[in-house]
């Protein structure tokens, strides 16, 4: 475990003011408390290695990359529940550390590092393809969903078969350019920045076969008290999409 942590410390010059030291602290805290799953290091072109948590399903029928929201970690709160519950339901998960800025950073400050998020998603998807013949989906939350949107509309061959976005932070358009089925989920009590634009998102994803939008009654941004229902909703969607394909 110590050698893994050493590999997650700052390597080379930080790209676009990313807070690699904060990322390393998240990794240390995550690994110290890890109970389910195995830690994995994925290395970027600039030599920086980031943490991912792999949880293999006993009877795998699909795989999922999980992308967390702004400034969090692969096992934090909602993401820990998703990665374990989806694996229990038959979907192996690779929950990855997305780019991190200082705690004072605002949502807009993350825009310049979206290409870094693209690279991390591509590495995670490639890692899953190298180890399994099962189909791959992205399950992303909040700003992580906005980053996944950027990846999907800017990558010629994204390597995934479905996309689930939870409580997306609006800011990107052109969802209609995505060629895979998508599931847009948000709560009726969600953040304004998520609920705003829902009608436009629904109109765009209506052009993508097999896609749908679901408003979870009483759901908040982190789906407190709704996570089992949320997992069931994701599994139902992935089962349908993967069987159809």
Instruction: Round to whole Å and give the CA distance between 239 and 242.
Output: 5
Q: Given this model, what pLDDT does residue 112 score?
A: 93
Instruction: Round to whole Å and give the CA distance between 124 and 155.
Output: 14
Q: How distant is the alpha carbon of residue 205 from its chain centre?
A: 19
Instruction: Round to whole Å and give the CA distance between 161 and 169.
Output: 22
Q: Given this model, what pLDDT does residue 5 score?
A: 37
| DSSP states along 115-171 | HHHHHHHHHHHHHHHHH-SS-EEEEEETHHHHHHHHHHHH-S----SEEEEES----
Instruction: Round to whole Å and give the CA distance between 164 and 145.
Output: 8
Architecture of the domain made up of 2-244: 3-Layer(aba) Sandwich (3.40)
Instruction: Round to whole Å and give the CA distance between 182 and 172.
Output: 15
Q: What is the pTM of this model?
A: 0.92
Domain ranges of the chain: 2-244
pLDDT tens per residue across span 132-169: 999 999 999 999 999 999 999 999 999 999 999 999 99
Of the CA atoms within 13 Å of residue 159, those in its CB half-sphere come to 19
**Averaged pLDDT of the chain:** 91
Per-residue burial over 45-59, b if 16 or more Cβ lie within 10 Å, else e, is eeebbbbbbbbebee
Contact 129, 159 (CB under 8 A): yes
pLDDT tens per residue across span 213-236: 999 999 999 999 999 999 999 999
Strands 38-43 and 62-67: unpaired
Instruction: Round to whole Å and give the CA distance between 157 and 212.
Output: 23
| Distance between start and end Cα atoms, the chain | 39
Contact 162, 238 (CB under 8 A): yes
Task: Specify the 3-state DSSP secondary structure of 241.
Answer: helix
Instruction: Round to whole Å and give the CA distance between 220 and 238.
Output: 22
Low-confidence ranges of the chain (pLDDT < 70): 1-16, 171-173, 245
Q: Find the DSSP H helices in the chain.
A: 2-7, 20-32, 78-88, 114-131, 143-154, 192-195, 198-205, 227-244
């Amino acid at each position: 475990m110590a050698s893994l942590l050493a590999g997650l410390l700052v390597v080379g010059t930080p790209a676009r003011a990313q807070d690699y030291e904060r990322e390393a602290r998240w990794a240390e805290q995550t690994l110290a408390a890890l109970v389910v799953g195995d830690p994995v290091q994925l290395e970027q072109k600039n030599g920086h290695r980031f943490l991912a948590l792999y949880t293999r399903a006993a009877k795998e029928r699909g795989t999922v990359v999980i992308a967390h929201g702004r400034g969090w970690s692969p096992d934090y709160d909602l993401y820990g529940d998703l990665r374990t519950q989806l694996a229990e339901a038959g979907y192996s998960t690779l929950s990855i550390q997305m780019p991190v800025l200082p705690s004072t950073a605002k949502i807009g400050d993350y825009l310049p590092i979206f290409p870094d998020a693209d690279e991390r998603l591509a590495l995670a998807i490639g890692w899953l393809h190298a180890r399994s013949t099962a189909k791959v989906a992205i399950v992303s939350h909040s700003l992580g969903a906005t980053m996944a949107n950027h990846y999907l509309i800017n990558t010629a061959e994204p390597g995934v078969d479905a996309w689930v976005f939870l409580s997306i932070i609006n800011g990107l358009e052109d969802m209609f350019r995505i060629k895979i089925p998508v599931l847009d989920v948000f709560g009726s009590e969600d953040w304004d920045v998520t609920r705003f634009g829902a009608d436009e998102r629904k109109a765009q994803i209506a052009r993508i076969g097999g896609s749908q939008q679901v408003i979870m009654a009483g759901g908040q941004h982190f789906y407190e008290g709704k996570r089992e229902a949320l997992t069931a909703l994701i599994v139902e969607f992935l089962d349908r999409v993967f069987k159809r394909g």
